[in-house]
Amino acid sequence: MDQTPTLVALRRLGPYLRPVRGKLIASGASVLGSMVCGLTIPLILQHILDGPVARKETAVLPWLALAVAVLGAAEAMLFYVRRKLVAGPSTLVEARMRADLYAHLQRLPIGFHDGWQSGQLLSRAVSDLSTLRRFIAFAMIFLVVNSLTLVLGFAVLFTLSPVLGLITVVCAAPLIVISTQYETRYQRLARKAQDQAGDLATTVEESVLGIRVLKAFGRGPQLARKFARQAVELRGTEIAKIKMLAVLWGAIILLPELGIAAQLLFGTLGVANGSMTVGTLVAGITVATYLRWPTDSIGWLLAETNQAASSATRYWEVRDAEVTITDPQRPKDIPADATGTVDFEGVRFTYPGADSEILSGVDLSLRPGETVALVGPTGSGKSTLTMLVPRLADVTGGRITVDGVDVRELRLGDLRSVVAMAFEEPVLFSASVRENVALGSPGVSDDEVLAALRIAQAEEFVERLPWGLDTRIGEEGLSLSGGQRQRLALARAVVGKPKVLVLDDPLSALDVHTEAEVERALRSVLSGVTALVVAHRPSTVKLADRVAMLDGGRIVAVDTHEHLLATSPAYRDLLSTVDDEPVEVAS
C-alpha cells in the first residue's frame, strides 16, 4: 500500500483530535518530563562517583540519594499523570468517530449496503476504531516523545563522552534502517489481517442469523468448514506478522546489547589509561540502558502506526462513500391540505453498474384514499418501484410526485412522515414491542401505539405477551410467528398516520391461516390512506380498488381486478402461476 494515502488517512484525524489537543499535548509533555527525570539520574550518579565517593566525602551522599529518589518519584508520578490525561480524550475521539460512522451509514443509500458485507462494516466500527484509540492514547504520543528522548539522550552521551555517544549511535542506526524496511511489509499484512477478520465476522453473523436455515438443511458442517478455512487464513496472516515482528525484535534486542558491551570495553580501557572517569563510564552505560526502551520501541511504534493507518484507511473508505440521497438545497413543503395523491411520470431507473434499465417509463396515478395493487412477473421491478416513493433510491429519469410536489424537492424527514413503508420481510429489532412500533414515528404515546396495534389486528396477541408492550421480542422478532411479525410491521407503518402507505408484498411468505389474519389487518390498515401494494396472490389483489400490471419496465394495464381477469390473458396467466386459489374469470 502506498505510504502517501496512509499518512493522509492519519492526518485526516485532525478534526477529531483538535478539540482534545490540549490534553494530548499535556500528556506528551508529562511523559517527556518523566523521561528527562530518568535521564537526569545518571548525571547525579556521575557526580556521586566522581565527587563524594572519589574524595570519600560521605556527608553529602544522603542529599544526593534523596535527589535520586525524588527524581524517581517524579518520573513515576508524571507517567501516572500521562495516563490520566490521555484516557478521556482518546476514548472521546473513538466515541465521536464511531457515532459519525454510524450516522453516515444511516444516510448512505440502500445500494451501498447491498454491496458491503455487514461483518466488514462491523469490524470498521469496532476493531478498527479500537486500534485508532490505542494509537492516539499510546503510539502517537510515544513516537514523538521517544524520538525526542533519543535526541536528548544522545546529546547527554556525547556531552559525557563522544566515544560512548558514537558507539550508541552506531548501534542504534541499523535499527532505524531495519524498522523502515519492515514498515511497508508489515502494513500490508496488517491490512490483510483486518480484511480477513471482517470476512470472518460476516460468516459468524450470517451463521447466527441463519441458524434455523442451516439446521433445517443440514448445512452447518459446510459452513463450519468455510469458517475454519477463513480462520486458518487469518491465522496464517497473523503468524506472518508475528514472524516479521520476531525478526525485528531480535535485531532490536541484539544491537543495544552489543552497544553496551562495546561501551564497557572502550570505557574500561579509558578508565585504565585515565582518559575517562568511573562516574562517566557508569553514567554513560546507565544513559544507554535508559535509552533501550525508546530505541527498542521505535520499530514497534512504527508497526503500530502502520496498523493504525490501515485502520484509518478502512474507516475513511466507508466515510468517503457518497451520500447520494439528501435534502434539497431549497426544499418545498408538503401542502397543508395534503391528500396523498401519488403520480409516477415517465419513471426510469437503472441500478449502478447495470447495463439496462429495470424501469423504462412508468406512468401511474394513485388517487387520494385509493389502494392500487402492483403486479408483474418476477424481476419486473415491482419492489424497485416501491423503493422510489420514500426515496430509498432515486429515479434516474422522470419523476414521482406526492400532492404535486416532486419527492426530490421535499425534505427527507417530511417525505417519510407522509409516506410509510412495510417490507416483504418484516424486520423487527431486539427491543420491546413499544420500541419496534414507535420506530415508525418517534415520540408517539402508548395510546397511539395501541391504536396502531388495533388497526393492524395485533393488539390481542400483544396483550397476551408476558409484559405486554414492554415485552422484548428477540433479535429480528424470531420469537414471534410470521403473522405476528407482519402485523407489528404494519402497526409500525401506520402509527404515524401517513397519507401514503407502500407495502411490498405483505402476504408473500404466510400460510393460509396467518394470511387470513394479516388480510384482516390489511383491510383495516388500508382504510383511508393512499396505498401502493405489491401483490403476488389473488387474495392480496382483491383488497385493491385497482390493479396496475408492470411488465418490461412499463405499466401495461390498469383496471379493476375483475375487468383485467375478463379482458387480459396476460393478467390471467400471471395470477394462475401462483398456487394460491382458483382464478375465476368474471362472466
371-375 β-sheet, strand order = 419-422, 500-504, 530-534, 371-375, 546-551, 554-559
CA distances for 288 relative to 39, 142, 154, 292, 351, angstroms: 10, 18, 9, 7, 64
CA distances for 299 relative to 173, 177, 330, 335, 556, angstroms: 12, 10, 54, 65, 69
* DSSP string over 308-346: HHHHHHHHHHHHTS---S---SSPBPPPTT----EEEEE
What pLDDT, on a 0 to 100 scale, did the predictor assign at position 91?
92
CB atoms inside a 10 Å sphere around CB 146: 23
Max CA distance (Å), the chain: 126
Strand-strand pairing, 405-406 and 397-402:
antiparallel
Return the minimum-mean-pLDDT range out of 336-340, 480-484, 562-566: 480-484
Return the minimum-mean-pLDDT range out of 26-30, 285-289, 299-303: 299-303
- CA–CA distance, 5 with 163 (Å, rounded to integer): 41
3-class DSSP state of 372: strand
Q: What's the residue count for the chain?
A: 587
In tens, the pLDDT along 419-466 reads: 988 887 778 887 888 988 888 677 788 898 998 888 888 888 899 888
User: Cell 494530548, residue?
Assistant: 24
Dihedral sign computed on CA atoms, order 23, 130, 209, 427: positive
Tell me the percentage of the chain whose pLDDT exceeds 70: 90
- CA–CA distance, 544 with 521 (Å, rounded to integer): 14
In tens, the pLDDT along 294-307 reads: 877 777 787 788 88
The 3-state secondary structure of 176-221, one letter per residue: HHHHHHHHHHHHHHHHHHHHHHHHHHHHHHHHHHCHHHHHHHCCHH
Phi, psi (rounded to 5 degrees) for 546: -140, 165
CA distances for 65 relative to 41, 52, 61, 265, angstroms: 10, 12, 6, 28
Residue 558 near residue 382, CB atoms below 8 Å:
no
CA distances for 147 relative to 183, 257, 294, 454, angstroms: 17, 20, 7, 69
Q: What is the CA 553 to chain-centroid distance, rounded?
A: 36
Most confident of 62-71, 154-163, 213-222, 363-372: 363-372
- Nearest CA to 149 out of 250, 281, 292, 45 is that of 292
- CA–CA distance, 194 with 130 (Å, rounded to integer): 12
Whether 493 shows a pLDDT value over 80: the answer reads: yes
More confident residue, 19 or 8: 19
Burial class (CB in 10 A: 0-12, 13-18, 19+), 579: exposed
What one-letter code names the amino acid at 514?
Answer: T
510: confidence class by pLDDT, cuts 50, 70, 90: low
Dihedral sign computed on CA atoms, order 38, 43, 48, 49: positive
Whether 184 shows a pLDDT value over 50: the answer reads: yes
User: Cell 424486520, residue?
Assistant: 427
DSSP state of 152: H
Q: Nine-digit cell at 2?
A: 502506498
More confident residue, 255 or 68: 68
What integer is the mean pLDDT of 81-91?
Answer: 90
What integer is the mean pLDDT of 385-400?
Answer: 93
Return the minimum-mean-pLDDT range out of 22-26, 302-306, 388-392: 302-306
Return the minimum-mean-pLDDT range out of 178-192, 333-347, 412-426, 508-522: 508-522
374: confidence class by pLDDT, cuts 50, 70, 90: very high
- CA–CA distance, 220 with 206 (Å, rounded to integer): 12
Residue 502 near residue 386, CB atoms below 8 Å:
yes
More confident residue, 183 or 531: 531
Q: Which domains does the chain have, with CATH numbers?
A: 3-319 (1.20.1560.10), 342-576 (3.40.50.300)
